[in-house]
Amino acid sequence: MPIPIKLNQLRIFIEIRHHGNIQAASRFLSLSQPALTKSIRELDRLPLIWRVIMQGKKKRL
């Protein structure tokens, strides 16, 4: 069963990581901070994302 990750969600995830925070990524992508936060929350609900962002005992992007 494929995991429903949208390409736009993945791009938002990558840009937040690249820019270091949601505010800078939102300016770069010309999207609102709430839109980016919503996208990350949706990704956070997917089991695959937990495996990607869990490193040690801290949850990080």
Domain count, the chain: 1
43 lies in some domain: yes
pLDDT tens for the 61 residues of the chain, in order: 566 788 999 999 999 999 999 999 999 999 999 999 999 998 888 776 555 655 555 555 5
- Domain span holding position 43: 7-59
Q: Give one DSSP letter per residue of 1-61, joined into a string.
A: ------HHHHHHHHHHHHHSSHHHHHHHHT--HHHHHHHHHHHHTSHHHHHHHEETTEE--
The model's pTM is 0.71
What single-letter amino acid sits at 30?
S
In a domain, 1, yes or no: no
Q: What is the pLDDT of residue 60?
A: 55
